[in-house]
Chain A
Amino acid sequence: MSKNIRIRSAIVLVICIAAFVYLAPTITSNLPDLWKQYLPTEKIRLGLDLQGGMHLVLEVDTQKAVEITLTQIANDLKEALMDKRIKFRRIETMKNYTIALDMPDNPSREAMETMVKNSYPDLEVASTETHEGIITVNLKIKDNRAQDIRKQAVEQSLETIRNRVDQFGISEPEIIPQGDDRIIVQLPGIKDTARAKNLIGKTALLEFKLVDEEHSLDDALKGNVPEGSVIAYGYDLDRSTGRRTSMPYLLKEKTLMTGGYIERARVEIGDRFGEPHVSIKFNAQGSKDFDRITADNVKKRLAIVLDGNVHSAPVINERISGGQAQITGSFTMDEARDLAIVLRAGALPAPVNILEERTVGPSLGQDSIDKGLWSSIIGGILVIIFMIIYYKASGIVADIALILNMILLLGTMAAFKATLTLPGIAGIALTIGMAVDANVLINERIREEIRLGKTPRAAIEGGYTKAFLTILDTNVTTLVAALFLFGFGTGPVKGFAVTLTIGIAASMFTAVVVTRIIYDYFVWNRKIEKLSI
């Protein structure tokens, strides 16, 4: 029996040391260098509610992504039809996500449909109707392709936001997808939340468009916008008053180029006024396109449009072949820096909306840690004292189990990189209760056995055997509930379930295995005659 005890003790010791090794970095940051080299150094991760920071739930407007794709295809199709000299009266992107084409006769309809079939695999004919000799064909994006576009939009948004956050320089950000079209962004310790939100939520679609100088801007503002042109606004910041004034532009609708070809973007300070601007460099393909565009439009004005706002509209003095451009405008230094980041990281494929925001200041987090920690410690000490009063020496055994339980619970959390949240602390409090319960069950059973007149050895044997089934059933039932909470719950519910699940496992181990070793040691090796219980 004593050999058996030694083996069991060794196993328990190994587990406890492992837990302690994982827990040590959390307790002290003054670890010896040798430790830092070979042993874990990660602290228990704290949830945003404890360490402060921002939690955002974003929704990617995937419908918009489909719409954008559809518009692109429609433009492409229009040019292809003109190239092939297929007659058509009208081509338009409709509100219900279809492209409506008016064809004058059947041959041109057939030619168009053949072309769509061969060159546009994403499109299919949704419906055809004839009205006063004009055949209207409605084309739509195939359902599985639309599904792909939505999925890609979310994936690409995730990637882009991750890039932006990484470049912004926040330590340990968490950016994870949720459901079909949502993205959770967690930024621990962030201070300037407005700026971060702006950086993450900006679509950052950079477009180059020609200024329409053939038509009058005033006429357009009165409502006579010429076909193929749009009105856009530029905003100017007056530094002395801090007021922004807006200025209208009449632009050609067609986008000559987008920011998709940008290789590099960085902030530079202007020579004359010391104002920051963003200088961009295109990649090879972009340089070639930019070269062609500038060559074709010398002496015309090229507007640089970001998310629909005109930043500047300089006159193209000469062909630009180096692939370099500058975005000027009235930026503050931070704005210029953030713009460079979003241009480098790329545009979002579709707009994102903020559905949920939770910001916790660092001082509140610290308060919560302090209060949660202290109340846990006070509660723990009270329970420890109470157990000793009630069960005497056996109470001490139960207390050892309780303390080990805490070390195992926290050590496991550190090892699995689980996050400790405020409800998680409450889960720990419940674990203390469950651990006490297991010990109470065993001790009460042993007392019953002793009352029946059994020897300590037999009483312990009987007590453990009988209590074990009960402990197993109660713990497994709670475990089942906790696992469901973990699977289906969100936020606080999940945090609670994590600590509870680990806690139950630890409590079963300490109550059933660890305490038994101590009792066995005393009755077999020390051969005590009477149990202090």
Chain B
Amino acid sequence: MNAIIISALLGVVMMFSSILIQNRYAIRNIAVVGLLILLLGNLLNTYTVYSFDIDTHNMLRFDKFGLFFNSIAIAATLLYVILSGSDIVKVGNYPAEYFALIFFSLCGITILSSYNTLLMLFLGVEIMSIPLYILTGSDKKNLKSNEASLKYFLMGAFSTGIMLMGIALLYGASGNFNLEYNHAASNGNAYNYGILAPLGLLMIFISMAFKVSAAPFHFWTPDVYDGAPSVFTSFMATIVKAAGFIAFIKLFGIRIADLGPSSIIILPAIIIATLLVGNITAVFQQSVKRMLAYSSIAQAGFMLFALYGNNDLSAEGILLYATAYSIATIGIFAILIKMKDYTFDGYNGLAKKQPILAATNTVFLLSLAGIPLTAGFFAKYYMLASALKTYGHGALWLVIVAVLFAAVSVYYYFRVIQAMYFKEGEAETSEISSNFKAILVVLAALIILIGINPSLLLTWFYF
């Protein structure tokens, strides 16, 4: 509860701070302090009894899983703002508003991690998404940004429509919005209401697949990620995406079986389609930013394994994946923003000019590729393990397909490493502060620490 209330309040605070404060960097510092308060509030909620006590009539439920994810999301946002804050304030004329929108989006995320009825799911998704439509278009004079924003908004509205329709159908089938009650009612006789319940669930499934950009509902992703200002792409591709997955898993972890017998085919099909589209298309990109957009689709394919496995390993795994993926991607985007040229060739020779940037970027890319000793390895490991644990021999083929696609992903991630280290060139960057480098090193160290021992992170989950 703390996180929801504080993040909403902080959003308002940030809005008003623009009236009182003119200094852009002061506004960024306020946001950092705000995020620290938010993190503290959420930790208090997780590990102590100090929390707002509001009766939500069981519409929200705060469990360890959701609260722990909140901490991850808030901490990742904190790192993101510390790292890229100075670039956020440079996007346009309204720096305070950008931070306000980020806080509102976080509010939506915290609702998504704790919703207990479909109504709250809908509210969470909308509160999370609407600020993003604005952020995408925040580079007002750039046509691509405008196009991306409009596209995102139209597609988002469309998928929301589908979700509402699905929720309505489910309501029609069971008479209420409750997640668990529905489940109990459908126990053994899921088809009492004919096609209504499975169809409703399928519609929600589709709209959630849209939010996490799973194929074949991914078409908005490359254009939106490419068109949006890079700093905000970073936020969308990491924290928001992870939140989408948490919401996905919270619902379908319970309800996947109600989709009917076809559920056992739908998920593997979507996983393979997502891995295929993301990985193969990323291979052909010339711009690192666009490559990252497709790679985020490919990573979503791996995260879907959590839904497929649907056991204790997948719960731990998705938290680990969210952390590993967010940290690495935030780092890569932070470096990308500093580059003058977003193509692969723009990175040529970066290792000579900026050795620390190149080295940390390498760690992040290795992590995304899932090389051992980085957090990304264990993230993928947990995903594959959860599938094998549930289905045993039956999932082996899917695991093999997935690792082959992981090998494909090495191709495009390593192209950046090759450009930085092995090719000659004059990679041009904007000015880089030593603070920025220090934080990058901290992020890389985190990745390696989790890569050596993921329990460092997961013990907090069970603490």
Partners in one complex: no
Residues of A at the B interface (CB closer than 8 Å) are none
Residues of B at the A interface (CB closer than 8 Å) are none
